[in-house]
Amino acid sequence: MRFSVSETREHPSWTRRLVLRGGVLLACTVMVSALAGSAKGVSAGTEKIAPRLDVVSSELRDLRRRLQDSEGQLAVAKVQIQRTQEILRYSTRYRIPADLASSIYDIALSEGIDPVIGFRLVKIESNFQPRALSSASAMGYTQLRLATARFYEPGLGADQLYQQDVNLRIGFRFLRDLMNKYDDNAELALVAYNRGPARVQAILDQGGDPSNGYAQAVLQGVHLKR
């Protein structure tokens, strides 16, 4: 079908109207999409700026736990450093191997004895000689009689009592029991360690003084906490 020029000028083409209407619809669609995207962006940005409360709480708890772990590790490290320094100090002071100083220090603490007293006791009793044997058959570092040692470990043999850690552990445990018996009176406990608890108690019951200079020798230079 053909249209004349006059018909085209007088009556706008339906095609032009359709294109114009489509352009308006396309523009509206683009605008709506842009606004929707902008709203989503604002929402996403808001979530990043203000995270959920439970997430923040979880992160705080994790941070607190890591801080506590770090503080605990630091405290352990300080104790280990202090222990090493003390052991080296005793090793140098008494001119003994570090492994012996370490055993005396650790076992004294584990048995509730001040390491200062522990080292002095071993010094006076045996001068740090592992095979020391007295005329009364007291043996090893802490000069224990076999009968006394067997009170703590029945069936213990003489060779076992000469073992370093065994001798130190039983000797310090014996002293700790005496400290308990005499209400942490170190002087009386040491005299009883040297003379025997039965003999010391008998002297005390008679109103006498069992002191014989032994406690003073062990405690020389030691400042006791009252």
β-pair partners for 202: none
What does each C-alpha distance from 55 to 22, 41, 48, 60, 63 come to in angstroms? 49, 22, 12, 9, 12
Of the residues 47, 125, 153, 187, only one is catalytic, namely 125
Residue 153 falls in the annotated catalytic set: no
The DSSP annotation for the chain comes to ----HHHHHHS--HHHHHHHHHHHHHHHHHHHHHHHHHHHHHHHHHHHHS--HHHHHHHHHHHHHHHHHHHHHHHHHHHHHHHHHHHHHHHHHHT--HHHHHHHHHHHHHTT--HHHHHHHHHHHHTT-TT-B-TT--BTTTTB-HHHHHHHSTT--HHHHTSHHHHHHHHHHHHHHHHHHTTT-HHHHHHHHHH-HHHHHHHHHTT-----SHHHHHTTT-----
Q: Which residues are catalytic?
A: 125
